[in-house]
A and B are shown apart, each in its own frame.
With several copies, the nearest count.
Chain A
Amino acid sequence: MAKTFAITAEPIDPDTLKRRLEADHAGACVTFEGWVRSLNEGEAVDALEYETHSAIAAREGEAVIAEARERFALVAAEGVHRVGKLAIGDCAVWVGVSAAHRGAAFDACRYIIDEIKHRLPIWKKEHYEKGATAWINCATQATSEPSPLE
């Protein structure tokens, strides 16, 4: 089976990735991109650093994609997470799915990114304009967007 999830230190190319979702019987394509924001919890962020255990993260990502294909009527599903040092505006994570109908495409794309965010061994260190750094995780975040998993 072709790989459906990758960890990469290179910039993500959404347009090329999206072409892998194409198929004559696909009528809907939903993609998600996570971009590095300039502000988190009110702090001005300069850059982000993502650290991972590549092999375990990639395997867990593949498992998430496989689960989505079991649960939803999909044509294709792919994901990529970038690691290393990223700048504001960089794409940190990309998920794309295609399906015959858009309901399955939306639900699956959301399922995949939610699971990826909560299950993959990927850690985020924020570098602030004032020079400090901080490791960010669910527990340190405000609960403005509670996860369905918690």
Chain B
Amino acid sequence: MIDVTAHYFAVFRERAGCESEAVSTSSQTAAEFFDEIAGRYGFADRRDRCKVAINGALAAWDSALASGDEVLFFPPVAGG
């Protein structure tokens, strides 16, 4: 298990009911962690339409997580 902080934006923040939270997880990658969190809060968006940032920079979904990471989940952008 690792200890990370998850940060939620826009519709994800509203679904989660908080801007960020400490999470202990057995997920090894950003993708696994997203799926875990999305399942918990019922995020409706497909992961490939979302983005993740780790410690302040956009990251690939297969990035490995480490204890202490700040993981930011971005729902689909406004676009248009």
Chain A: residues with CB nearer than 8 A to chain B? 50-51, 53, 55-56, 59-60, 117-125, 135-139, 141, 147
Chain B: residues with CB nearer than 8 A to chain A? 9-11, 14, 45, 49, 51, 53, 56-58, 72, 74-80
Main secondary structure of the interface of A (DSSP, over half): mixed
Chain A residues near B58 (CB-CB < 8 A):
56, 60
* B77 & A120 in contact (Cβ 8 Å cutoff): yes
* A118 & B79 in contact (Cβ 8 Å cutoff): yes
Report the minimal beta-carbon distance from B38 to chain A, rounded to whole angstroms: 15
Report the minimal beta-carbon distance from A38 to chain B, rounded to whole angstroms: 15
Mind listing 9 A-B residue pairs with CB under 8 Å? Answer: A56-B56, A60-B58, A118-B79, A123-B9, A123-B11, A123-B75, A135-B14, A137-B76, A137-B77
Chain B residues near A120 (CB-CB < 8 A):
77
Interface centre among B10, B56, B57 (most CB of A within 10 A): B10
With beta carbons under 8 angstroms apart, the residue of A56, A59, A121, A139 that contacts B49 is: A139
Chain B residues near A59 (CB-CB < 8 A):
57
* B80 & A136 in contact (Cβ 8 Å cutoff): yes
Please measure, in the bound complex, the distance between the C-alpha atom of A135 and the C-alpha atom of B79, giving whole angstroms: 11
* B9 & A51 in contact (Cβ 8 Å cutoff): yes
* A121 & B80 in contact (Cβ 8 Å cutoff): no
